Structures are given as structure tokens and as C-alpha cells.
Amino acid sequence: MKKIFESEDIKARIVYHKYRATPVKTLVISFSNRRRALSSRDGFKEVKVVCNNYNPPSLWEHIVHEWKTHQEELMRNLSLSDEETFILVTAADMDNLSFKKEVFDGLEVYAFVTADVETNAMRIGVDRGTSLERDGKFETIGTINIIVLTNAYLSDGAMVRSVITATEAKVIALQDLNIRSSYNPSHQATGTGTDNMIVVSGDAKGERINYVGGHSKMGEMMAKAVTSATKEAILYSKGYKRGDINYIQKNVYHDKENGRKEPKDRGEMSLPDRLHC
């Protein structure tokens, strides 16, 4: 087990365990009390736990075709209750998880992101959709999974708007790193074909927030956390280490007035050069 974050109300850890004798890794985020949450897979629910579960290639076919069975067995494996748990599933290694935190005047936002854009990046609505849903089955493994938490009490509208804000922030990360479509590299990717997200509100004691758009401080904090975490998770998946990423953050996009190196044109820049926040 690996601790990622812990506070009075939140515990986040990576659990190393087995599913049908195969080693898997699951990010388990637990709360002291039930919280309202919104999952892009399962809608609204009050939860005490949210998870992001990594599975190696040997399990992918099983998960695609036996999603419900996988979920039920995974819940039992982790001693969790379906009634108060949301789970995302990914092929991105959980050891490449990025965690970011933003704080301002008592408000807190946390972003937990895993990402792998090597084979499934796409420009939505431009690249062809090739999967057709029938009887609820067709989905493959998520490749950019985002979990956003806050200590603020979000209205239903604010939770839905959080998905928009976090998605915009994800797209910024892909643009800044110039991630191209896996299907047509002339296209800038906007995500992968299987991304998912969970947004978790603070409890009723938190400050009530009704709007999380770009003009709000909460929207700004959420976007910063998600953009930074998504960039970092993508770079981890490509083999960059924390020290490399910290160096890139400090040494790219210096301004000309201070006599430092100007950025190259975007088309000429290497992947590390594109990371600028």
C-alpha cells in the first residue's frame, strides 16, 4: 500500500492487490462521511469511497466484455460496498498517478489523474467513432481518468459545470504538450476515446458553491489542478521522472526581457519544451 494524501476527512492510497491471480493496482480515496459525487460513467450518488483501478493487458478483454462481473468481484476484493462507491478503470499504470492540490482562502481542490495517450488519443467529432453501443456494452479501458475533490459544497449545477471546467483543463494540457491524434496525427487531440471523470463535493459544512466556470475562483483552482496533473501524468506515462518534470517547469518559456531563452515556435518544440505550467 502506498499513501498519496491524508487529511482529517480524506485518505488516498494505492492498494496493490490481485484480481483473479493477476496483480492490479487501485487508487482508493475514502471519506470520513458520505459525500455527493458525480461520475461520467454512473451519474450522481452519495459515496464514501471513489477508486481508479489499473489492470494489465491480460485483463482488458475480460473487462470489456464482463464489465459488471469485474466491478462486482473488484468490490469484494477491496471489501467495498457498491451502494457507496464509484470506480473508474484504466490501462494507465497507477504508479504514474499525478496528484495536485490548489488552496485559496479556505477553499481546497484536489486532482488525481492517470493518463496514457500513446494509442487512443483522438480529436472528438473529427476522428471517426468506431464503437456502437448495444445493450450497454461496447466500452473499452479509460485512458485519461480524472478525479476531482473539493471541500466546498457544490450544487448539482456546479458539479455538472465542474465536468466542463475539468474537461477544458484537460484539453489545455493536451494542447500544451501538442498531443496528436493516434488516428490522424495532423489533428490535435482533445482527449482519448475512453476518458472518464468523477467529481466529489465537500460535505454540507463546506462553503456552498453554485458556479465553477472560468470567471470563478473555484473554476480557476480546479482548472489549474487538473491541467497540471494531466500534464504530469502524461509525462510520467512517457517515462519522465519527477526531477525531469520539475526542471522542465522551471526552465521553459522564459521571457525575453530578462535575457532568457525564448520559446520556439510550437511546431518546432520537443515534448519537454511544450510543458510550461
pLDDT at 245: 72
Q: Looking up cell 478503470, which residue turns up?
A: 89
- Strands 144-150 and 196-200 turn out to be parallel
What is d(CA 109, CA 149) in angstroms, rounded to the nearest whole number?
6
**Residue from 186, 153, 140, 148 nearest 170 by CA:** 148
Task: Give the separation between CA 277 and CA 275, rounded to whole angstroms.
Answer: 6
How is the chain split into domains, by residue range?
2-237, 240-277
Cell readout for 174 is 493536451
pLDDT averaged per 10 residues in sequence order, the chain, 277 residues: 96 98 98 97 96 94 90 96 95 96 97 89 61 49 86 97 96 91 86 91 94 96 97 92 68 44 43 48
What pLDDT, on the 0 to 100 scale, is given for residue 118?
79
Q: At what angle do helices 217-237 and 242-251 cross, to 10 degrees?
A: 130
CATH of domain 2-237: 3.60.70
pTM: 0.86
Closest CA to 41 of 168, 166, 163: 163
Q: Which residue in 61, 59, 60, 42 sits closest to 51, CA to CA? A: 42
State whether the Cα torsion 141-13-151-175 is positive or negative: negative
